Structure 1
Amino acid sequence: MNFQATLEPPGDVNDLGQDGQGGGTLKKALGLRADWARLPGRSVEVWLHGEYVACGVVDQAAEDGSVLWIAAEGISTRRIFDKSSGYQIWV
């Protein structure tokens, strides 16, 4: 997972490696997810208006996909994010 904050969310295309020609190991880049209800147990990144907010494992999600909770880790507490506020989830 990309833990480096950038000004735009990660793309949803394959990473071709350092040479740009696919000679290295292909790895799937992060993709935007609209159906939050299907994400419990998945590692995700949270973005808001093009800025990285958080990452972690989805602990729980509303059945209608309107909100999800990222599990507490270390000193971080469990956090809730709601889709209507503009948050985006990338897997």
Structure 2
Amino acid sequence: MNSQATLDARRDASELDLEHDEQRAGSSGKVLGLRSDWARLPGRSVEVWLLGEHVATGVVDQAAEDGSVLWIAAEGISTRRIFDKSSGYQIWA
């Protein structure tokens, strides 16, 4: 299997994981799971964690294509925030 086929297979598996979680959550949408493919999260409500501590909750405004960073949309008096995976942030959605 070439590297592109491997990437596509991983992407397909991530899509199935998201669909499965949404189905399990039903109408409540309350099932949270650790997300590794941040590029697929724009528009979703997420929790941001760092070293076991909750950092933020919000809607993903944008994510880098490579999934290395994402932005949480501004809400109320809070400004738009960026989080990068290499710093150890975890995203739960």
Structure 2 partner of 1:62: 64
Structure 2 partner of 1:6: none
Q: How many residues align?
A: 69
Q: Which has the higher strand share?
A: 1
- Where does the alignment leave 5 or more consecutive residues of structure 2 unmatched? 1-20
CA deviation after TM superposition for structure 1 residue 27, in Å:
7.0
Q: Which runs of 4+ in 1 moved over 3 A?
A: none
Distance in structure 2 (CA, Å) of the matches to 1:27 and 1:43: 10
User: TM-score when scaled to structure 2?
Assistant: 0.68
Percent of aligned pairs with the same amino acid: 87
Structure 2 partner of 1:34: 36
Q: Which has the higher helix share?
A: 2
Distance in structure 2 (CA, Å) of the matches to 1:90 and 1:79: 16
Alignment of 1:1-91 (within 5 A): 29-91=31-93
User: TM-score when scaled to structure 1?
Assistant: 0.70
